[in-house]
Structure 1
Amino acid sequence: MQSFFIFCSGADADLLDQCTAGERNKYAGIGATVFFTALMAFFAASYALFTVFDNYWIAGFFGFIWGLLIFNLDRYIVSTLKKSDKKINEIWQATPRILLAIIIAMVISKPLELKIFEKEIDQVLLEEKNAMTLENQEQVAALYEVEESAFAKAIQDLKQEITDKESEVNELYNTYIAEAEGRAGTNLLGKGPVYKEKREKHDAALAELTDLKAINAEKIEALETQMATLAEQEKAQIASTQPIIDKFDGLMARIEALNQLPFITSFFIFLLFLAIETSPIIAKLLSPRGEYDLKLEERLAVVENWVAQQRQQHAILLQTDREVNNRVYADIAEEDAIYNHRKRVARELMQQQADAFYKKNKKVLS
């Protein structure tokens, strides 16, 4: 177990074997922090991805990949932080690593906050879904409101037409009854010619009323059928859009709901993960230079000296080779045989150029 945690810390296991047990325990503790941070990152990412894909296997697979990524980053951050004689140098090294640790802590803590406050988030989402349902119903109703109003007005006009006709018939009835009783018209009691005329007018209006009721009843029935069809279409559209509202519980929706909860509780959870994420770096910053750091520094110094020697030797070899080449070519340049050979080659080249020029001009003139 100690060897595994030492591996997680990114320390040189062979070099630590040459150190005391205290040094090994220190780096095992740092490695354990790195491991458990990656483990929490795995759980956090798995839960966050489960809210997106709603599948345990997919969420677990990508959560495992994310956990490995966080493990590698933390291990790199801790292993590259070297101890120095001056604290300011260590702080300068640690600054970008601490910033990266803050970002990682934010990424890790958010999904776990979603799980911790799951019930409160569900309550917020339920209220938002109810509000969205009412708003959706109002919007859909607004789409059909014009047609429904037109149908309702047409039905009302047809009913009003019947009512007006009934009032007219009743008025004609009262008129011919008053004529028969001698209370109006000719003021003569009995059913005379005027009574018959008014009675016929009433009967004709009553027949018109009967026909109007039959015709308007058919029209009203047709309009009510269209209104019922329109109402069914409205219900169907509401039913088709409701599943979208019911599924309004994805990752982004939950994060938005989490932001509506009190900030202080969520902030303290973030501080907890920030402390866990930065604890290996802070531990290395606060701890004095130990046996492992001295041995590592000695080994790096040996490597640096060896590299410096190799560079110096390469530079000396290059300079020597350059001087030898200069001397060789200088000696060759002073030899008569080389001069005569170059002179003969130059003469042949000039003759060939002259011949080629002559042949080209001759060809042009011909």
Structure 2
Amino acid sequence: MLKRFFIFCSGADTNILNSCSPGEQIKYAGIGATVFFTAVMAFIAASYALYTVFDNYISAIAFGLVWGLLIFNLDRFIVSTIKKKDNFKSELLQASPRILLAVIIAIVIAKPMELKIFEKEINQVLLERKNDLTLANQEQIATQFTPKVTALDAEIATLKNEIAIKETEVNALYNTYISEAEGTAGTQKLGKGPVYKEKREKHDAELAALQELKAANTEKIEQAENQILLLSEEYNTKVSESQPVIDGFDGLMARVDALNSLPLLPSLFIMLLFLAIETAPIIAKLLSPKGAYDLKLEEEENALQTWVAQQMHQRKAVLQTDTEVNNRVYADIAEEQELYEYKRKKARELLQLQADAFYNKQKSVLG
């Protein structure tokens, strides 16, 4: 049962192959098995590749099955159409388009399998690229907010500096009137005289101004800090909204690009392996000697060609004979006087009818 299935996969004529030796049948069963397992590998590779696209098992398996059947049909067609001849160069020339197609199929099958085999390495490359994209995204978004935050920080620093300058002035006035009271500066008289009172009043006035300045600047500083918090929240929101796009950067094209960044040699070996698997049935058929199946198939084809040539020659002979007979028949009829008189009579009647019709038409026009 299994041998019959593989023979079916090889595309061989079962009626002819059944009349051949068991060894010939095993050879074509082996070719069919190669075709079948190549289609299985194509199904697995396509299913994985499509899963990275659709992220759905059912869709991936369904499309993978269609692709596997397509590859199976193509391989079966390629193998079944290669005819064994006595000249290897002629056979190779005949198989060259099919080998080229097999190479294309092998590359298409190998690429998804490479993605699966090197999945861990590809994930590492994608992780590094995602991290780079995340940092670049954060920097790009930050450029929209950094000037505003910098301006607000500068405003806060200016307001704090105004308070610090005012505090320094008030502290200096405090030290002045204290020194006046102690007699260590100013009039150098101990006690709280008129100069002391004047300096104390100036200090108190500046202290009140300092309190007002602190209250006003503190409110402005709080407003600026609140604006910075709002800008920070808006920045975090934009980063969070754009992050899923970066996290989803692991589609088929991204993985293929990541695979291309890995060392070439391992990927090349896998591609060559699938190339060998895909071209194995064709190479096996080219290298195998001309067997009983090929001889019988060639005999049937030659017999069919001979029969078709005979049929065409017979139809040409029938056509030529019929043409000659018809020519002789019409030549004999052309000499008969009775046929001449009959056609002369009918021609006269036709001319009379045409003349009557023309006369009636002209009469109706002239009124």
Smaller-chain TM-score range? over 0.9
Correspondence for 2:355: 350
Residue 241 of structure 1 deviates from its aligned partner by: 1.9
Correspondence for 1:280: 281
Q: State how far apart, in whole Å, the 2-side matches of 1:354 and 1:291 are.
A: 86
Q: State how far apart, in whole Å, the 1-side matches of 2:46 and 2:344 are.
A: 81
Q: 1:327/1:191 Cα in 2 relative to 1: closer, same or farther (>3 Å)?
A: farther
Asked if the contact 1:5–1:29 (Cα under 8 Å) also holds between the matched residues in 2, the reply is: yes
Asked if the contact 1:332–1:338 (Cα under 8 Å) also holds between the matched residues in 2, the reply is: no
Q: 1:233/1:104 Cα in 2 relative to 1: closer, same or farther (>3 Å)?
A: same
The root-mean-square deviation of aligned C-alpha atoms, in Å, is 2.0
Correspondence for 2:30: 29
Does residue 160 of structure 1 match 2:182?
Answer: no
Does residue 294 of structure 1 match 2:295?
Answer: yes
Write the mapping of 1:264-275 to structure 2, written as runs, cut at 5 A: 264-275=265-276
Correspondence for 2:315: 314
Where does structure 2 lack aligned partners over 5 or more consecutive residues?
none
Where does structure 1 lack aligned partners over 5 or more consecutive residues?
none
For 1:119, the aligned partner's letter is: K
Q: State how far apart, in whole Å, the 2-side matches of 1:312 and 1:339 are.
A: 43
| Number of residue equivalences | 362
Q: State how far apart, in whole Å, the 1-side matches of 2:24 and 2:359 are.
A: 86
CA deviations over 1:233-259 (Å, ceiling 9, x no partner): 211222222222222222222111111
CA deviations over 1:284-306 (Å, ceiling 9, x no partner): 11112111111111111111122
Moved more, 228-237 or 65-74: 228-237
Asked if the contact 1:158–1:220 (Cα under 8 Å) also holds between the matched residues in 2, the reply is: yes
Moved more, 230-239 or 95-104: 230-239
Correspondence for 2:64: 63
Asked if the contact 1:159–1:216 (Cα under 8 Å) also holds between the matched residues in 2, the reply is: yes
Q: State how far apart, in whole Å, the 2-side matches of 1:49 and 1:151 are.
A: 51
Write the mapping of 1:19-168 to structure 2, written as runs, cut at 5 A: 19-168=20-169
Write the mapping of 1:151-190 to structure 2, written as runs, cut at 5 A: 151-181=152-182, 185=186, 189-190=190-191
Q: State how far apart, in whole Å, the 2-side matches of 1:353 and 1:330 are.
A: 37
Q: Give the TM-score of the pair, scaled to structure 2.
A: 0.92
Does residue 193 of structure 1 match 2:190?
Answer: no
For 1:23, the aligned partner's letter is: E
Asked if the contact 1:42–1:64 (Cα under 8 Å) also holds between the matched residues in 2, the reply is: yes
For 1:299, the aligned partner's letter is: E
Q: 1:320/1:344 Cα in 2 relative to 1: closer, same or farther (>3 Å)?
A: farther
Correspondence for 2:232: 231
Residue 264 of structure 1 deviates from its aligned partner by: 0.6
Q: State how far apart, in whole Å, the 2-side matches of 1:72 and 1:142 are.
A: 57
Q: State how far apart, in whole Å, the 2-side matches of 1:96 and 1:66 are.
A: 21
Q: State how far apart, in whole Å, the 2-side matches of 1:212 and 1:69 are.
A: 83
Q: 1:345/1:205 Cα in 2 relative to 1: closer, same or farther (>3 Å)?
A: same
Moved more, 331-340 or 253-262: 331-340
Q: State how far apart, in whole Å, the 1-side matches of 2:53 and 2:302 are.
A: 51
Q: Secondary structure at the residue paired with 1:248?
A: coil
Residue 44 of structure 1 deviates from its aligned partner by: 0.9
Moved more, 67-76 or 188-197: 188-197
Residue 351 of structure 1 deviates from its aligned partner by: 3.3
Q: State how far apart, in whole Å, the 2-side matches of 1:276 and 1:84 are.
A: 24
